[in-house]
Structure 1
């Protein structure tokens, strides 16, 4: 029975990461779940998977309640922790990469903890409403309602960006980087939608805008200023994070940022910059793995 925990580790981490948005919090939940698993008479557990998933789900619900309080005092924008999906790591099983897009994780932050649990369990893992109800300790009717509210909120808020194939994405981002490196404010502005939004998560640890920057001119000026602050030693490369293309900014000291860029009609419509060093440890570890 001890192997049950290891067999379900991937599923449990995937649930916790989607619900909490950071690797650190997800790993803490798994550690707590392990302790609870060790504290029960495992021979009496007829459905180890159900027991473990329910344990992790409820630990996440408890964690989300305290996390929401912590994020009220968080310095600046709070963004999820990126995870590389083209390197060995916690999401290196293909099935676990689905539904972990950075934009979706960011959007899920706006849901209540029960709504988030219902959405993750139903959408990402295919649990029935009855199973969701059992896992989060509510009625089937309420689980159905929680899921419906969550889906409605996601549908309303989800960015309506046009899909761009990866080769074209790299071409567009290369144009953006060239204009930025040349300090071409006008050229950079022309690559942005009029209502482009840039969000930066520095967590008070590094210099970053504390509120979203909106509008082509303001975003262009902000990005040019940020590039200067990064310094001449920073290099940008293409990578894959959370199952989607991303930019990786590094310098001799390590990873400086992971940037997610989305497009609408070949113009940049949003940029999310994960810059808090505390949220780059997993990427750093992944880059050092063979």
Structure 2
């Protein structure tokens, strides 16, 4: 069986084509911009198809065979045999991402480091009698010198010093910039979790995960911008509240292998208006 042979799609697969094309379009734009060619993408997809079929579709109590993986994926058995066991590409958590996110999460949630309204306090660099940037870093990790963390954060714009010399958490700390290691990690993690939740809801008889959006079309650009700005305020408040509750709950949690992700997104664009039918144009014969 050749990989290039076109076979008719089952009805469920055919129904997915239009939404899948819309879902993939921004990704294809990213691929073209960053030099990921179509042959390179097909190589990655071939590996993923084999990996998913091998592990996610194994029958209980039965050994997964090359023939069954080939049947599930449409990939030739010789290619299946070559690719099996290779493992799916993994997006490991960069050490800097894990460290930075934990420190920021604590600064946003722990009562010692927030004010009465739940906002992160400006912190003195050091201090023995109260919370400081040094004590914040030390409460998360003893493996790094707080001064080294501070220098890195100041250089990256994650923190700034105010007129009194205190360390202030900057807006840039919430949104990694510029296609760097941190941004690309969260790009893969957050899109994976959003898509995984949506896919689980499609495949399950009863949707398990919350996956909702508020959307309005036909708006003026000015109103779209105002709604975007207000949505950012609402979203940040929700994220900070969820972080505070999760941080407090983790203090008494025994720990385990589970993970949880609560995310939001806001998007607005000036989409081209759909063409309106010309009333003077001839209409097709309903009986045709």
TM-score by length of 2: 0.31
TM-score by length of 1: 0.30
Identify the structure with the greater strand proportion: 1
